[in-house]
């Protein structure tokens, strides 16, 4: 016996799962914000000013690690969110168009069914008519 997953009752989410989801969503928003980007830029500059690296290797290592870890990742996440929003908007528009087309198709099917009933009623009337003498049928 197969069960349709859409009709089965799903167990309610536990409070810990809801809490974890809420924390994860808020953290993702904060970590992918441009505010975090600017905070990190200021913090990196402050760290550089307070304790500048010594030597070319330390300077290059400082800028490479901070550029990728502190600056690029929030920007990439921010851009990813923008792209996700654009995709969601496209999906919403596509879904709206699909619903319009589905409504139109249902109307056309109803019209065809109405016409088919009319044709069947006319055909039924023709079969009930008495045959005319002298005709080939």
Helices and strands in the chain, H and E counts: 4, 0
pTM as predicted? 0.45
Whose structure tokens read 């065809």?
112
Contact 29, 77 (CB under 8 A): no
Residue 131 has pLDDT above 60, yes or no: no
Report the pLDDT value the prediction gives residue 10, as an integer from 0 to 100: 65
Task: Please provide residue 2's backbone torsions phi and psi, each rounded to the nearest 5 degrees.
Answer: -90, 150
For residues 39 and 9, which has the higher predicted lDDT (pLDDT)?
39
Q: Where are the domains of the chain?
A: 15-127
pLDDT digits (tens, 9 = 90+) for 75-108: 778 888 788 888 999 999 999 999 999 999 999 9
Contact 44, 70 (CB under 8 A): yes
Contact 32, 77 (CB under 8 A): yes
Average pLDDT over the chain reads 81
């Amino acid at each position: 016996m197969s069960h349709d997953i859409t009709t089965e009752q799903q167990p309610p989410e536990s409070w810990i799962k809801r809490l974890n989801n809420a924390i994860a969503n808020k953290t993702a928003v904060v970590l992918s914000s441009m505010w975090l980007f600017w905070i990190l830029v200021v913090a990196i500059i402050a760290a550089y000013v307070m304790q500048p690296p010594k030597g070319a290797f330390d300077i290059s290592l400082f800028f490479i690690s901070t550029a990728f870890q502190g600056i690029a990742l929030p920007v990439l996440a921010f851009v990813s969110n923008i792209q996700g929003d654009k995709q969601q908007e496209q999906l919403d528009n596509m879904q709206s168009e699909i619903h319009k087309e589905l409504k139109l198709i249902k109307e056309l099917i109803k019209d065809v069914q109405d016409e088919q009933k009319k044709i069947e009623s006319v055909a039924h009337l023709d079969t009930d008519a008495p045959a005319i003498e002298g005709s080939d049928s």
